[in-house]
Amino acid sequence: MEQSPESVWKQCLEIIRDNISRQSFKTWFAPLKAVGLEQEGELTKLTVQLPSQFYYEWLEEHYFALLRKTITKVLGPQGRLFYDIVIEKDDAETGYEGASMHLPARRPANEPAAPSSSPPPDLPPVTPGYSAPRKLAAPSFSAVPGSPTEPIANPFVIPGIRKADIDSKLNPNYTFERFIEGDCNRLARSAALAIAQQPGATSFNPFLVYGGVGLGKTHLIQAIGNYLKANRKAESVLYVSSERFTTEFVQAIQNNRASDFSLFYRQIDLLIIDDVQFFGKKEKTQEEFFHIFNALHQSGKQIVLSADRPPRDIQGIEERLLSRFQWGLSADLQMPELETRIAILRRKAEDDGIVINDEIIEFVAHHIKSNIRELEGALIRLLAHATLHKREIDLPLAKEVLRDLIKDARVSLTIEQIQNVVCDYFGIPEDLVRAKTRKREVVQARQVAMHFCKKLTQHSLKTIGLHFGGRDHSTVIHACQSVQNQIETDPKFRDMIEEIHHKIEVRSR
């Protein structure tokens, strides 16, 4: 049977999925497309398209063995994997177009070389359309109007300032050492580190980190700045929020100093701008930033940005700026999984000199799942209560202090999860609780599941009814009453409900 690239790759993905974490799979393999399957002599070549050079390097470094094993399994010993790196860059104004390159997957040492038409795999990072970093002379500050004795209004109009004297506005605590690594942030963190080691010289320029509140964007982008400063890799580093950038720009215009503003920013070696979604709808600021961006990018300076959503979803940003955001690499931060949450809490407690046992750390990590800032907040709250009431930090204290946070976390429990656990417990197929059947054991499971949906989620009776095959809200009320009656009259039933409750709690962690 003729096989298509997609069907072969699909078989590969199934094997890969079983061998790595869900998060890694989602990050590294789910976005890839198979684009070719060819027979060349004895070899069967599968070509997979990668969205950036970084994927290529990462796959080769971390998944080489797995990919090789998988390809051999699916295509046999003559199977070979090739990559097409297609960087989608489309910029009407510069006529800049997408670039692509074809690379073979790394060969084991004892294998003959790949056909010479393919470039060797150990090429330096491809940065199409991007000239090697050129050192352009920074604008000389003697050109800035105003005499050196003039009073200083804004930081960017300091005449005669030396680049090294620019205040970076970095928080020294936001370092890579303190940024715990997990599946949730591996891509973003390693790209950030690569940039810190070679600012302006990787293909990740600009580098954009995005993700929800409290997931570590500010920390990570500042870590790049702190690294550069500590290792003297850049003379001038500047961290600025997009709001501050906007305010300063508006002031500069009001004071007739827009060109000073512009000159100031153009001499920065590493410019970090936080929360660029706030540039939305601020057209003048966007325009200024656009020109600064171009000047810096052209002279091989590194730009690092953060946003609370993927660039495409940012509202009110001009297309030409959006397309620049996508020139380099965008990487997202996710909520850490349990192990990483535990590691973050341990590290935080250690840094703050708090002695706290593992049981408490695990309790907090289990229950606080919204974001890392809340995770840290919970720890601080615990410490404050313990100090205030001169109590030890133990489990009862933790439960008491974090009660409201834990309740909030329950919102995330879904009706489907509850149905799943309950049906599992009663050993019936899940769709039966949504079906019409009135078989006794199904009715019982349905009622118990409704009871928990009412108790553990914030959903209305109506919504709950809808999730059970479109039943009426009065059916849900009846179910809850019936379960409650049995809990009160039948100790065996009560034990069973407690056991199911426990299973649901475990599932929701």
Query: Which of residues 84, 362, 376, 408 is near ligand ADP by CB under 6 A?
Result: 376
Q: Give, in degrees to the nearest 5, the angle at Cα 10 between 3 and 37.
A: 40
H/E stretch holding 99: strand 99-104
Name the maximum alpha-carbon separation found in the chain.
90
What Rg do the C-alpha atoms of the chain give, in angstroms? 28
How many chain residues touch Mg ion (CB under 5 A)?
Answer: 2
Q: In the complex, what is the shortest distance from the CB of residue 345 to ligand ADP, in angstroms, rounded to a whole number? A: 9
Q: Out of Mg ion, ligand ADP, none, which partner does residue 219 contact, by CB within 5 to 8 A per kind?
A: ligand ADP
Q: Interaction with Mg ion in 196-225: which residues (CB under 5 A)? A: 217-218
- The number of residues in the chain equals 509
- Cβ-based nearer residue to ligand ADP, 239 or 265: 239
219 binds ligand ADP (CB under 6 A): yes
- Cβ-based nearer residue to ligand ADP, 235 or 376: 376
Q: In the complex, what is the shortest distance from the CB of residue 376 to Mg ion, in angstroms, rounded to a whole number? A: 13
**Cβ-based neighbours of 462, under 8 Å, separated by 6 or more:** 473
213 binds ligand ADP (CB under 6 A): yes
Within 10 A of 240 (CB to CB), how many other CB atoms are there? 17
DSSP annotation string for 115-146: PTTSPPTTPPPP-TT-PPP--PPPPPGGGSSS
H/E stretch holding 506: helix 491-508
Tokens of residue 132, six digits: 């090697």
Q: In the complex, what is the shortest distance from the CB of residue 326 to ligand ADP, in angstroms, rounded to a whole number? A: 20
Rounded to whole angstroms, how far apart are CA atoms 144 and 146? 6
Q: In the complex, what is the shortest distance from the CB of residue 188 to Mg ion, in angstroms, rounded to a whole number? A: 13
- Cβ-based nearer residue to ligand ADP, 337 or 376: 376
| Chain residue at closest Cβ approach to Mg ion | 218
380 binds ligand ADP (CB under 6 A): no
Count of H-run helices and E-run strands, the chain: 20, 9
- Cβ-based nearer residue to Mg ion, 140 or 173: 173
Query: Which of residues 79, 216, 225, 328 is near ligand ADP by CB under 6 A?
Result: 216
Q: Give, in degrees to the nearest 5, the angle at Cα 442 between 440 and 443.
A: 65
214 binds ligand ADP (CB under 6 A): yes
Distances (CA, A) of 159 to 143, 145, 257, 346, 357: 9, 8, 12, 47, 55
Binding mask 177-196 for ligand ADP (x = CB under 6 A): -xxx----x-----------
Residue 452 near residue 501, CB atoms below 8 Å: yes
Query: Which of residues 170, 349, 361, 372 is near ligand ADP by CB under 6 A?
Result: 372
215 binds ligand ADP (CB under 6 A): yes
Binding residues for ligand ADP, per CB under 6 A?
Answer: 178-180, 185, 211, 213-219, 344, 372-373, 376
Residues near Mg ion, by CB under 5 A: 217-218
